[in-house]
Amino acid sequence: MDQAAATAEPIEEPVPAPAPRIAHRHRLPTRLWHWVNALTVFIMLMSGLMIFNAHPRLYWGQFGANFDHPWLMFHGRPIPGWATIPSTYNLAAARRWHLAFAWILVIGLVTFLITSLINRHVQRDLAPTPDEVKPKHIWHDVQEHARLRFPTGEAALRYNILQKLSYVAVIFVLLPLMLLSGLAMSPAMDASWPWLLDIFVGRQSARSIHFICAMAILAFIIVHLTMVVLAGPLNEIGSMITGRFRVPPERPQQ
């Protein structure tokens, strides 16, 4: 509006805004998995932080306890009650929540992966194209994000390269690493699948990697929620619930 007023163009009759185009995106398996995970991941993070409170030190290697050198160490119970499940110190209850909801997380992940390979969500929507992974393209997207200029029109219906990379990192790297490093902390699983200890080079390394991946997922959630808010939370959240997305109109060329 301001731009129109600033130019010397003759004032035109206002044209009625075209009816917003509604597109379908996020198929049902994606939407279901998203909301199951939204709940499950928070429960896993918060119960996991309570478990961390029981021994808030992290080590590298096969063993690690109070007399060994930690790479990360806190005193007392560092995680406040508002960030833990339950909110007062209770290792037994936190473990019970964590190990129960781990099943939901794992079953959801495996089901989503199988469904998304069959319905080609992974190949079509998540896999970056050769053009997209060129540094120039990625850098361009980074700049656009930094200016908070989000894709419009057709481009808004596809994941941009930064989205693809972060979703692929979470789905194919972080979540599988969480699962495997979690299993590597189980003495029974280590007996059955000794390779768990080998890939992480020890149970305490697996515990450290479990924590680091959890923090990476937390960082992803923070960025993810920030982007949802910046990109228009009602339309974004609505489309993740109903699958119907109001396509942002193309930006006028400058």
Partner 1 sequence: MISRRRFVATGASGLLLGGCDRLNNSAQFRGVLRDAEKLTMGAQRLVVPRDALAREYGEADLSPIFRSNGTAMPGTSEYAQHLAENFANWRLQVDGLVSRPLSIPLQTLRSIPHRVQITRHDCVEGWSAIGKWHGLELSRILNAAGLSTRARYIVFHCADRFGDKPYYESVDLVDAFHPQTIIAWGMNGNLLTVPHGAPLRLRVERQLGYKSAKYIQRIEAVESLAGIYGGRGGYWEDNADYEWYAGI
What is the spatial distance between Cα 25 and Cα 30, in angstroms, rounded to a whole number? 9
Q: Taking the complex as a whole, how short is the minimal distance between the CB of residue 90 and partner 1, in angstroms?
A: 8
Helices (H), 160-246: 161-168, 175-184, 187-192, 195-200, 203-231, 233-242
- Nearer CB in complex with partner 1: 161/196: 196
Size of the site for partner 1 (CB under 8 A): 46
Nearest-CA neighbor of 89 among 65, 59, 56? 56
Q: CB under 8 Å to 56, separation ≥6 — which residues?
A: 73, 74, 75, 76, 77, 78, 79
Hey, which residues between 20 and 49 contact partner 1 (CB under 8 A)? 42-43, 46
In this structure, what are the phi and psi dihedrals at residue 18, rounded to the nearest 5 degrees? -65, 150
| 200 belongs to the binding site for partner 1 (CB under 8 A) | no
Q: How far is CA 167 from the centre of its chain?
A: 6
Q: Taking the complex as a whole, how short is the minimal distance between the CB of residue 218 and partner 1, in angstroms?
A: 12
| 121 belongs to the binding site for partner 1 (CB under 8 A) | no
Contact pick of 73, 114, 155, 191 for partner 1 (by CB under 8 A): 191
Contact pick of 5, 19, 82, 135 for partner 1 (by CB under 8 A): 82
- Nearer CB in complex with partner 1: 95/145: 95
What is the spatial distance between Cα 249 and Cα 153, in angstroms, rounded to a whole number? 5
| 92 belongs to the binding site for partner 1 (CB under 8 A) | yes
Binding site residues, partner 1, CB under 8 A: 42-43, 46, 51-52, 54-55, 57, 62-68, 81-87, 91-93, 95-97, 99-100, 103, 183, 185-194, 197, 203-204, 207
